[in-house]
Structure 1
Amino acid sequence: MTMSTSDAEAEHRKRTATNWPQWIGYVTAVWSGAYGLLGLSWALGGAAFPFGEENTLLAGAEPEPTGWAAASLGLLGAVIAVAMSRPRPRRRLVGPTAFAWTLAAGLTVLIPDSRPMIALIRAPMMLIGTPLGLVPDDLTAADYFSAFLPWPVVNQLVLMAGGLLWAGTAVAHRRRLDDACRRCGRSDREASRWTSPAAAARWGRWAVAVAVAVPVGYAATRWAWALDIPLGVPQEGLDELEAESPGIWWAGALLATLALGGAVLTLGLVQKWGEVYPRWMPGLRGRTVRPRTAIVPASVIALLITSTGLSYVRHYTLGGADIAWDSWAMYVPQLFFPLWGAGLGAAALAYHLRRRRRCPSCGLG
């Protein structure tokens, strides 16, 4: 029986996705080289230099030196990414792997600040807040993009995508070095003390506990202010800000509600309803939840929360921000955001290890 065109295309897409360790290094090389050329344009006086803003990791950066650095790292990275994609690496080299993981960490969580996360949460806030009167009537979609997704923020999203590519390149390279399965990463020598489903279920519960506790603590302060309860702030401070920006605390409560919703969804990473859709979901009830349906959004949100939290840490500890301890709730909950992101990322990893099936390529499971 011959497959239809649509079935053949679906099979091709599936095969391409599962064979990502074979091609991701070359995609990373293309991304790295392209960004290197972009950096070269800045160094030579080109427009649209996105760095140098205050309260960012690259505050005060100038186009010429930063552009040359981006060009050098980008073009060098393209060469290294191709070298790491050799089918059978001749020997184990620490340098390329360290380079890849350093770029992955820097591009995904160190350079980006809180604005990508703000852009993400402002969209549902506009949808929910508009009928509640919390969004000005004259605020349009174009205003949203100009306010929350200008080029410097889009550039941060591009950097985060590049960081994910470098992380994938490092993982694929490690699998080739260890002669592990290219598809699932498992091997006969794999240590199962922490990667087995039983072990992942144990430490995954602790990760979920952390990823739930932080947003619950954050939401408690914001809802307290909306209810005119001066939790962690002076009453006069609440009244003053409310007078300057009417409805600010209810907007904060809406943001806190989104955080609580995320905390509830995080519980699904260790609950039965995170594997099988519950009865109260019409059209999906009783169906098996595809692992990537939970893993992909949880991983993306984990990165955004971590980068947001690290930007707050830099601002309040290294940025010279004035800290008034009688208003601790204004900033202390955000300082725990990196812990929230790390917990959510670990919980997503545990969910993956617990849900993965026997690999059709290597037969391990």
Structure 2
Amino acid sequence: MSDGGLAQLFELFSLIFIYGVIGNFAILPICIILFLELVIEVLCIYDNACDSQKRVLLEEARRRLSKEISIVSASVSKDLKRITTKETAKLEAARAEARKRRSKDVATITALIMKQVLAAQMEDKAKEEATKLSAQAKAERATAIERKRRGEEHLAAQLREKLKAEGRERLAALERERAAFNLTQIALPEDLRDLDPLANDFTCIGEKAAGGRCTQWMFSPDDLSYAADRLKTMRSKNPGKSFEVPQLLQLANWMLCPRWHRYEKPQGKEIAIRWFRQLQPAREALSASNEARKAPVTPVKTLGGSPALESSPSSSTRSRTNSTGSSFGRSSMPETPLSSFNQSPPLSASLGAVDTLKYNEPSRTTPGDPRANLTSKFQGLAKRRV
């Protein structure tokens, strides 16, 4: 019903109500019914208006969401394209460098073959001249030519062997160089990789008697800070001696709850031994990287007689890096002292050191019972968490 119909209905209801009040009360129920119909019609109109407004707002929200989604998609596509272009350029540069080195090796081998061909041609020419001489001169000349030929063959064989050995050494040095310079971060095992002592939900790494990880979370703030620093050192390029059993035991004790698993039911030694075995691949990788960075260089003679640098099987990283700049576009890097991993003590010797190790807890201030001043530690930890 329109607004005009409502007005007419209201006027009709007013007239009927007035007439009913003045003269006849029999039409009063009719007036009431008409009034109720008018109220229902008004409520329907308001309800339709509210639904229309709600649909308009919903449509506006959908348009805004679609616009934001399109903007984010465009930004992500742009970043992905930029990263892809950059990585493609790096790959092309590495391929160009490899082709350049391959061309250089092919040129060296070609020069050697040409020298051998020229030597054979000279030998044939000398033989032709020897046939024109007398028998005695021919014999002497033939003997001299034979000695010369054998000497040249011997020299050519030596040069071939040297070139083959140099090629093998260059390939091996390239692999060692790539492994050494790609070692920028140590991959820790899963037990250590997921630990974050500074997280708010960090709990003791010990195991409960009923099974499962201990839920104690009260630690000294200093212990958690020391543990986080030690894990950061272990993940770095030069972890020092942090992979040895005494240091692993110290790290485990920092992350074990003082109430149970550090002193009452100690589990630090067991955890340290498990970590030591899991870190064996990391120690081997560090040892290989250290060997690749050690490069004794010795001068040798090349085909033309000019001095060159020849790397031994355990080197060539430094000489190749200084001469070409880098293998894959990297600049030369200083050596990192990792010699401590080449002479890592065996597990039995490390366990003997653990038996005599006295755990130095930085937050302890009084001798005697290690649990004597845990109250002050827990108060400090509670303040930090709040």
What TM-score, normalized to structure 1?
A: 0.23
Higher RCO (C-alpha 8 Å, min separation 6)? 1
What TM-score, normalized to structure 2?
A: 0.22
